[in-house]
Amino acid sequence: MLAWEHHCDFLSFKAYDDGKSKVLLCLHGTIPITYLSTLYNIPVDFWIPTEYPKVPPIAFVVPTSSMLVRPSRNVDVSGRCYHPYLHQWSTQSNDPNASSKKVINSRPRSLSGTSSSNQRYNMIPSTTVYDKVKSCCNEYLERSVPELHRIMAIEEDLSKSQELIRQEKFNLIELEKVLDNKLNFVKMKITEIDKLIEQAKNIPEVSVDDILSEDNATEDAIYYLGKALSTERIDLNTYMKSIRTLAREQFMHRALIGKIRRQTMLNKS
């Protein structure tokens, strides 16, 4: 009881493997170990779960800066200790109330011992210990509540940021799909253009000015043949033969001009 009055900082946050944390009672101490004829005091922490004594305490080796935890059968790499006593934990055999009753009942009756025990217990009222522990708990909660609120606010901000990141990731994935489709379309058009360029290389070079000049000349020849026929300078048979030849040439010229216009995407005049 005297030890409880002089130690208030016995509560700490315990982080579990699932990421959750609780405020638990933590007992600090050292265990003497002899190794190679040398005595070492190994610092350990004993965490008392809220379900105690239904579940056993959790023991951890707390190495100093100059110590290194070497994994073994009884200690893992995180420093957690494993022992048959903890593994075979029994609620009834490890109940503090039952254990204390056994110790009291097993003590021999002695008048002097009883009187000294009563005097010692009378010196430390139970209400004083309770008030002291309650005061320490309240002080710890007063220090911890603002920090918990700050951590909860940070967690809320992180949750919102995570949702924004998830939405942005979805938008980027959709944008990537659209860009991939456009890229495939552009590649297809580039392939078509390359084919047209290869085809154009095999086409003999044609002067557009020469074709237009020949078309205009053919048009003039047809016009003057018509005037010659009307003035009877040529007969009808000669006129028809010449017209057929000129019309065939004119058709070829204008078909070539139309093809050039379509390939150069020019409107017909």
Instruction: Give the tens place of pLDDT for each residue, 87-131.
Output: 787 765 555 555 555 544 555 554 444 444 445 545 555 677 778
User: What are 37-78's pLDDT values in tens digits?
Assistant: 888 888 888 888 878 878 888 888 888 877 777 888 888 888
pLDDT band at 141 (very low <50, low <70, confident <90, very high): confident
Identify whether residues 77 and 177 lie together within a single domain: no
Give phi and psi for 70, each to the nearest 5: -100, 115
Q: Are strands 38-48 and 21-35 parallel, antiparallel or unpaired?
A: antiparallel
pLDDT for 2 beyond 70: no
Identify whether residues 9 and 112 lie together within a single domain: yes
The residue with greater pLDDT, 31 or 19, is: 31
- Side-chain half-sphere exposure of 109, counting CA atoms within 13 A: 0
| Arithmetic mean of pLDDT over the chain | 78
Which positions ≥6 away from 10 have C-beta within 8 Å?
Answer: 25, 26, 27, 136
User: What are 74-89's pLDDT values in tens digits?
Assistant: 888 888 888 888 878 7
User: Residue 269 has what pLDDT?
Assistant: 46
Within-domain flag for 269: no
Q: Is the peptide bond before 32 cis (omega within 30 degrees of 0)?
A: no
pLDDT for 245 beyond 50: yes
Considering 203, 237, 255, which residue would you say is the last residue of a domain? 203
Q: How many CB atoms are located within 10 Å of the residue 53 CB?
A: 19
Q: What pTM was estimated for this model as a whole?
A: 0.33
Six token digits for residue 181: 């489709």
Residues across the chain = 269
- DSSP state letter for 247: H
User: What are 191-228's pLDDT values in tens digits?
Assistant: 999 988 888 777 666 677 788 888 888 888 888 888 88
Q: Domain tally for the chain? A: 3
Considering 96, 124, 152, which residue would you say is the last residue of a domain? 124
The residue with greater pLDDT, 269 or 161, is: 161
Q: Which residue has the tokens 């933590």?
A: 26
Identify whether residues 114 and 12 lie together within a single domain: yes
Q: What 3-state DSSP class applies to 188?
A: helix
Rounded to whole angstroms, how far apart are CA atoms 31 and 45?
10
Give all strands of the β-sheet with 21-35 in edge-to-edge order: 11-15, 21-35, 38-48, 58-61
Six token digits for residue 75: 């200690």
pLDDT for 241 beyond 70: yes
Identify whether residues 148 and 238 lie together within a single domain: no
Identify whether residues 11 and 49 lie together within a single domain: yes
Residue range of the domain that includes 251: 205-263
User: Residue 1 has what pLDDT?
Assistant: 42
User: What are 159-185's pLDDT values in tens digits?
Assistant: 899 999 999 999 999 999 999 999 999
pLDDT for 268 beyond 70: no
